[in-house]
């Protein structure tokens, strides 16, 4: 029975090749798991709201969680959509102990919750784990920096092209005709990723369809010409921008 449960855990770990699990050795990740206590969250609920006191990390065993940032004008900006194998966190730096974004549960989720103070003890005791954790933190910051780079340097078309590439890396299913993005998003939801209007996204998507770069079938985006999207956002070739960074 115990072996079956352990096997199921391993399957969850390996379902997301870009998840936090793959930054650690098996022994190191077991140490992290030992700090977790289980939590279930229903779709539509929030793990926390922007401005709430921070101090916990959430490891997604199943489900999806959207990270949202609100502006002073009340506009929402989608930072990411995380899946099983990802970690939701806000670093505790001793000065600001509040979440800078909200975490909305999109699908029923099973989580492992870690108290930041427990993680700090683990970091102090195991230098090898601390180094790996710092490497993972650096990747998370590179993901955020690269998103803002694409938005600021290449405008809305570049930001949309970048978002579609990141969605393909995170939720893409390769086929004979291209890459199908399994995550179903409305144009309004896509607009929230790049800080623009639904109408602007409609126009840009229609333009990409006319060029033969993408197609939309049953509400899901199919990327037919990935290189065309890369040219729009001047996407650097690997290893300059590996898939661990180029993700949603």
Q: Examine the domain organization and report whether 72 and 168 are in the same domain.
A: no
CA distances from 193 to 41, 68, 79, 108, 246 (A): 24, 9, 7, 22, 14
For 71-153, where are the E strands, in sequence order?
Answer: 76-82, 87-88, 102-105, 109-115
Domains of the chain: total: 2
Task: Classify residue 44 as left (phi > 0), alpha (psi -120 to 50) or beta.
Answer: left
Question: In the predicted model, what is the mean pLDDT of residues 11-36?
Answer: 80
Would you place residue 55 in the very low, low, confident or very high pLDDT band (cuts 50, 70, 90)? confident
Q: Examine the domain organization and report whether 97 and 179 are in the same domain.
A: no
pTM across the whole model = 0.84
pLDDT of residue 12: 40
Residue 91 is part of a domain; what is its CATH number?
A: 2.60.120.10
Residue 239, preceding peptide bond in cis (omega within 30° of 0): yes
pLDDT of residue 175: 84
Residue 212 is part of a domain; what is its CATH number?
A: 1.10.10.10
Could you tell me if residue 167 is inside a domain?
A: yes
122-160 pLDDT, tens digit per residue, is 999 999 999 999 999 888 888 888 888 877 788 899 999
Q: Examine the domain organization and report whether 163 and 192 are in the same domain.
A: yes
Residue 70 confidence (pLDDT) above 80: yes
Range of the domain at 120: 20-125
160-213 pLDDT, tens digit per residue, is 999 999 999 899 998 888 899 999 999 999 999 998 899 999 999 999 999 999
- Residue after which a domain boundary falls, among 91, 125, 159: 125
Q: Examine the domain organization and report whether 184 and 217 are in the same domain.
A: yes
pLDDT of residue 189: 93
Residue 39 confidence (pLDDT) above 50: yes
Q: Examine the domain organization and report whether 153 and 237 are in the same domain.
A: yes
């Amino acid at each position: 029975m115990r072996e079956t449960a352990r096997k199921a855990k391993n399957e969850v770990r390996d379902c997301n090749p870009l998840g936090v699990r793959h930054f650690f050795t098996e022994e190191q990740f077991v140490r992290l798991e030992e700090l977790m206590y289980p939590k279930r969250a229903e779709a539509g609920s929030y793990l926390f709201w922007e401005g709430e006191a921070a101090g916990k990390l959430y490891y997604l065993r199943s489900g999806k969680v959207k990270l949202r940032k609100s502006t002073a004008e009340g506009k929402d900006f989608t930072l990411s959509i995380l899946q099983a194998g990802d970690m939701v966190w806000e670093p505790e730096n001793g000065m600001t102990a509040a979440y800078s974004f909200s975490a909305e549960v999109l699908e029923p989720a099973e989580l492992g919750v870690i108290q930041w103070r427990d993680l700090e003890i683990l970091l102090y005791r195991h230098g090898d784990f601390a180094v790996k954790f710092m490497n993972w933190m650096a990747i998370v910051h590179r993901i955020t920096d690269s998103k803002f780079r694409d938005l600021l340097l290449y405008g809305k078309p570049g930001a949309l092209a970048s978002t579609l590439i990141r969605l393909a890396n995170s939720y893409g299913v390769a086929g004979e005709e291209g890459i199908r993005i399994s995550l179903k998003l409305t144009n309004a939801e896509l607009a929230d990723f790049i800080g623009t209007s639904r109408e602007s996204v409609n126009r840009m998507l229609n333009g990409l369809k006319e060029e033969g770069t993408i197609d939309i079938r049953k509400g899901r985006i199919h990327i037919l010409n990935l290189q065309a999207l890369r040219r729009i956002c001047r996407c650097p070739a690997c290893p300059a921008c590996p898939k661990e960074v180029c993700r949603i």
